[in-house]
Amino acid sequence: MKTLAEYEQLAALAHGHLCAGQILGIRLALHGLRLLGIDDPTGTDRKRLVTYVEIDRCATDAIGVVTGCRLGKRALKFLDFGKMAATFCDLRDQRAVRVAAKESSKQRARELYPEIEDKNRQQMHAYREMPDDELFDIQWVRVTIGPEEMPGYKGPRVHCAECGEGIAFAREVTVDGRNFCKACAGARYYEPVSD
pLDDT in tens, 71-122: 989 999 999 999 999 999 999 999 999 999 999 999 999 999 999 999 999 9
Domain of residue 194, CATH code: 3.30.60
Amino acid at 110: R
Domain of residue 9, CATH code: 3.30.1330.130
Q: Are residues 135 and 186 in the same domain?
A: no
Q: Are residues 142 and 162 in the same domain?
A: no
Q: Are residues 115 and 58 in the same domain?
A: yes
The dihedral sign for the CA sequence 181, 183, 184, 185: positive
Q: What total of structural domains would you count in the chain?
A: 2
pLDDT at 146 over 90: no
pLDDT for position 46? 87
Compute the distance between CA of residue 66 and CA of residue 90 in angstroms, rounded to an integer.
15
Q: Are residues 35 and 80 in the same domain?
A: yes
Residue 172 domain boundaries: 155-195
Q: Are residues 96 and 186 in the same domain?
A: no
Q: Are residues 31 and 124 in the same domain?
A: yes
pTM given for the model: 0.87
Q: Are residues 109 and 46 in the same domain?
A: yes
Q: Are residues 106 and 69 in the same domain?
A: yes
Q: Is 81 helix (H, G, I), strand (E, B) or coil?
A: coil
Domain boundary among 129, 146, 163: 146
Compute the distance between CA of residue 8 and CA of residue 5 in angstroms, rounded to an integer.
5
Q: DSSP class of residue 57?
A: S
Residue 29 · residue 62 · CB < 8 Å: yes
Q: Are residues 129 and 165 in the same domain?
A: no
pLDDT at 177 over 90: yes
Q: Are residues 39 and 127 in the same domain?
A: yes
Of 50, 56, 61, the closest CA to residue 98 belongs to 50
Q: What angle in degrees, to the nearest 10, is found between the helix axes of 58-67 and 4-15?
A: 120
Q: Are residues 121 and 32 in the same domain?
A: yes
Q: Are residues 43 and 102 in the same domain?
A: yes
pLDDT in tens, 32-75: 999 999 999 999 998 999 999 999 989 999 999 999 999 989 99
Compute the distance between CA of residue 152 and CA of residue 149 in angstroms, rounded to an integer.
9
Give the chain's mean pLDDT: 93
